[in-house]
Amino acid sequence: MNAGHKIKIIKEDCLKWLNNCSEECVHLTFVDPPFRQGKNYKFFDDNQPEERYWNGVADVLSGVYEITDDGGALYFMQREKNIENVLRLIRDAGWVFQNLIIWKKKTSAVPSDIRYSKQYQIIAFATKGKRPRVFNKLRIDPPLPPEYKYERNNGLYLTDVWDDIRELTSGYFAGDEAIRNADGDRVHKQQSPVALLLRIILSSTLPGDVVLDPFAGTGTTAVVANQLGRNPISVEIDPEYARLIERRISNPRPADDVLKFYEYYRYTNNLKEIWHARKVPILAVQGRLF
Ligand SMILES: C[S@@+](CC[C@H](N)C(=O)[O-])C[C@H]1O[C@@H](n2cnc3c(N)ncnc32)[C@H](O)[C@@H]1O
């Protein structure tokens, strides 16, 4: 592990942990719970009645609020059809809503006979209090759209529509980054991309800050936070996934290396301050974690 900052991986129900962690002070939390869409989780009933599900999520958002520093950030990811519940829940828990981020999927959408097909996921960004304690204005450098006549000199500011991050949740598209078992199957069907967490952590934290993920899964949040010199706390109820997070952090894989994205953000004014210079040694070969 790296000297200078702390990594906590907690094998527990996040609600239980949140009830007993009043000593923590968190600066950013990424909440990516199971979406109640009948997936197969060993320690979570993904078919539970709607009311029970939302009450549980509400308790997590309130618990996180309690341990968040003033101005600290929440990023709550959900399916677009749950927008009403998402906005209600964050408000009821005391958070101040800042943005609804549209994460536009790169894979093709499933057609519907009665409505437009769906091609995005929502991420509600909220803060404790009206003003964020940290908000770094990131600049990105995506390829020039065909209708543009002139090259850009210095990229452009990031907006609330994120269409440049590829999801890992569909087979072929998942590429190298998806963690696979010996048969080549993805070990966690909901693994978030490193690029997504990189953007969130860079936008809303500084080196040394504490970054919480109460539904940690494969630990993408911790893997990115660790490389950027933040202090990650991962809470995961499934002990097998919790062990996977430990292995993913102690055996860094090339596919998890955030440095490959540095150029993309190079026009960000304070990039050197927020992109912690310490480099985690990455294994030369793509290691098997599972
Ligand atoms: C959608 S996945 C998160 C994926 C994660 N963002 C990643 O990059 O891998 C949700 C995770 O929450 C875990 N989980 C479900 N209920 C939980 C609870 N009460 N406390 C902690 N973890 C829980 C599940 O086991 C699952 O791994």
241 Cα: distance to centroid of ligand 1 (angstroms)? 9
Among protein residues, the one with the nearest Cα to ligand 1's atom 13 is: 215
In a domain, 24, yes or no: yes
**Mean pLDDT computed over 130-148:** 95
In a domain, 85, yes or no: yes
In a domain, 135, yes or no: yes
Among protein residues, the one with the nearest Cα to ligand 1's atom 6 is: 192
**Mean pLDDT computed over 181-196:** 90
Mutate to test the pocket of ligand 1, among 190, 213, 234 (most ligand atoms within 8 A of CB): 190
Among protein residues, the one with the nearest Cα to ligand 1's atom 19 is: 13
**Mean pLDDT computed over 198-222:** 98
Mutate to test the pocket of ligand 1, among 211, 215, 221, 248 (most ligand atoms within 8 A of CB): 215
Using the atom order of ligand 1, give the atom closest to the CA of residue 235: 21
* CA angle (61 as vertex; 160, 159 as ends), nearest 5: 5
* Residue 54: domain span: 8-107+116-274
In a domain, 279, yes or no: no
155 Cα: distance to centroid of ligand 1 (angstroms)? 35
| Structural domains counted in the chain | 1
In a domain, 67, yes or no: yes
Among protein residues, the one with the nearest Cα to ligand 1's atom 16 is: 44
**Mean pLDDT computed over 190-201:** 96
Burial class (CB in 10 A: 0-12, 13-18, 19+), 79: middle
CA distances from 181 to 40, 186, 219 (A): 17, 6, 16
Q: Write out residues with Cβ below 6 Å of ligand 1.
A: 13-15, 32-34, 41, 43-44, 188, 190-192, 214-215, 217-218, 220, 235-238, 241
How far separated are the first and last CA of the chain, in Å rounded? 20
Mutate to test the pocket of ligand 1, among 237, 246, 247, 289 (most ligand atoms within 8 A of CB): 237
The rounded mean pLDDT for the chain is 91
Q: What confidence score (pLDDT) does residue 185 get?
A: 84
CATH number, position 47: 3.40.50.150
In a domain, 229, yes or no: yes
- Find where tokens 């269409």 sit: 163
142 Cα: distance to centroid of ligand 1 (angstroms)? 31
For the ranges 26-35, 71-80, 185-194, 196-205, which has the lowest average pLDDT?
185-194
Three-state SS annotation for 141-169 = CCCCCCCCCCCCCCCEECCCEECCCCCCC
In a domain, 178, yes or no: yes
Using the atom order of ligand 1, give the atom closest to the CA of residue 220: 8
In a domain, 289, yes or no: no
**Mean pLDDT computed over 267-276:** 95
Give the whole-angstrom CA distance, residue 122 versus residue 131: 22
pLDDT band at residue 172 under the 50/70/90 scheme = low
Q: Which residues pair with 135 in a beta bridge?
A: none
Stated pTM of the model: 0.94
